[in-house]
Amino acid sequence: MTKEFFKVTDLNKVLEYRRIFSKVTAEDVDISETTGRILAKDIISDTDLPDFMRTTMDGYAISASSSYGATEANPGWLTIKGAIAMGDIPSFRIGPGESARIATGGMLPQGADSVMMIEHTEPVDEHSVEIYKSIAPGQHVIDIGEDFRKGEILLCCGQRIRAQETGLLAAFGKQNVLVYRKPKIAIISTGDEVVPIDHTPGLGKIRDINTYTLAGLVKEAGGIPHSYGIIPDVYDALYQSCRQAVEASDMVLISGGSSVGVRDLTIDVLASLPDAKILVHGISISPGKPTILAKVGNCAFWGLPGHVVSAMVVFSVVVKPFIEHICGLAVSREVKIPAILTRNIASVHGRTDYVRVRLLEKDGKLCAEPILGKSGLINTMVKADGLIEIDMNTEGLYQGAEVWVIPV
């Protein structure tokens, strides 16, 4: 005779709600600020890269055919027609049996199609050089457009910019780059037992862990956290803060209300906010079941569990994908890490379980070691490197199973 407190929604169904929230707007930023941001438009190549034939080695620019047959035992002999200064356009052309001194990065003269590395040469005098190797056309050079062709899509809208993408933007002279704005994410703590961190909590009270943990997670996910502090478990106070938060933010995270009373209060407040619709009241995951999702205007409004570990799991599994969606992220490069489970773990059929694990190398294999301890203990999350997901149709996993670890 158990009570149904709320009807849980399947995890995938919750994730599908992402689509009903629109992306944040875009803004121009200086290229030096782009690493880590998400591109808000495709970047098209307006030129071949490189737009001249370029050497990747120090040596002699030649026509490869001039080297055919040359070996250490039977060196070839070429005249040196000149030297090419870095960044200059060669003023002469190379014919058969001719060469030009060239330094890495230099432009090949007309008639040259390859570069003989200096290591395979020996100067005879100022005007001639012996060569000890045959090379093929294209050797040690980058051809015109070999890196990128004019008109090609260099980078796609929705792509996260890493250092190499920033480099590519530089190569094409993109001083200003259109990226999605970082979403503003409001964080509200509730709970009459929660005190600010600079207070010494009396017996029965606890410091406000969630505000700081969630702010850290929001930053890591590319958002800008804005804390509204600890709001008492009182309708008017909570309503005021929620309304302010919704108006000023792209998303709201309220945490602390895992007791039925506070959850009911949160629901009451949410239901009375203008243009609000409660989408989810409970998710079929553990930990993290008592999670609320509402749409208030275009703002995703989350009621997260009060336990920090549960709140972190929900953040990692559900909230983060929503943040990435409104951030415009279309192509994620984040990978789950394959590892071998070090011990059996039991799980309950009918819900998706998340187990904290530590990663360690053992006999040349990456292993995932489940962390023991109640889910309410912060120390389990501090020890953890990641989470493994146990499917709702699985009743547990055996030692030695191959698992995928979600880094935390």
Spell out a b/e string for 79-111, using b for 16 or more CB atoms within 10 Å of the CB, else e.
Answer: ebbbebeeeeebeeebeeebbbbbeeebbbbeb
Q: Closer CB to a copy of itself, residue 82 or residue 105?
A: 105
Contact (Cβ atoms closer than 8 angstroms) between residue 46 and residue 93: no
* Nearest alpha carbon to residue 315 among 173, 205, 197, 187: 187
Least separation in angstroms between residue 366's CB and a copy of itself is 5
Least separation in angstroms between residue 361's CB and a copy of itself is 8
Alpha helices in 24-95 (DSSP H): none
Q: How many CA atoms lie within 13 A of 111 on its CB side?
A: 15
Q: Closer CB to a copy of itself, residue 206 or residue 248?
A: 206
Rg value, the chain, Cα: 31
Read off the tokens for 323. 């943040």
Spatial separation of the C-alpha atoms in residues 190 and 399, rounded to whole Å? 40
Least separation in angstroms between residue 96's CB and a copy of itself is 24
Least separation in angstroms between residue 11's CB and a copy of itself is 20
Least separation in angstroms between residue 181's CB and a copy of itself is 19
Q: Closer CB to a copy of itself, residue 143 or residue 298?
A: 143
Residue 79 carries which DSSP code?
E
Contact (Cβ atoms closer than 8 angstroms) between residue 81 and residue 56: no
Contact (Cβ atoms closer than 8 angstroms) between residue 217 and residue 312: yes
Q: Closer CB to a copy of itself, residue 245 or residue 273?
A: 245
Mapping DSSP to helix (H, G, I), strand (E, B) and coil, where does residue 233 land? coil
Least separation in angstroms between residue 154's CB and a copy of itself is 8
Evaluate the CA torsion angle 13, 374, 209, 194 in order and state its sign: positive
Least separation in angstroms between residue 51's CB and a copy of itself is 7
Q: Closer CB to a copy of itself, residue 169 or residue 299?
A: 169
* Nearest alpha carbon to residue 11 among 282, 214, 259: 282
Least separation in angstroms between residue 272's CB and a copy of itself is 22
Write the CB contacts of 358 (distance below 8 Å, at least 6 apart in sequence). 368, 369, 371, 383, 384, 385
Q: Closer CB to a copy of itself, residue 330 or residue 408?
A: 408
Least separation in angstroms between residue 65's CB and a copy of itself is 21
Q: Closer CB to a copy of itself, residue 75 or residue 328?
A: 75
Spatial separation of the C-alpha atoms in residues 267 and 190, rounded to whole Å? 13
Q: Closer CB to a copy of itself, residue 142 or residue 330?
A: 142
Q: Closer CB to a copy of itself, residue 20 or residue 348?
A: 348
Residue 331 carries which DSSP code?
B
CA distance readout (Å), 398 to 35, 265, 323, 387, 403? 41, 42, 34, 16, 10
Give the strand pairing for 386-390 and 402-407: antiparallel
Q: Closer CB to a copy of itself, residue 12 or residue 164?
A: 164
- The tokens 């489940």 sit on which residue? 370
Evaluate the CA torsion angle 239, 244, 246, 247 in order and state its sign: positive
Least separation in angstroms between residue 321's CB and a copy of itself is 16
Q: Closer CB to a copy of itself, residue 204 or residue 274?
A: 204
Least separation in angstroms between residue 309's CB and a copy of itself is 8
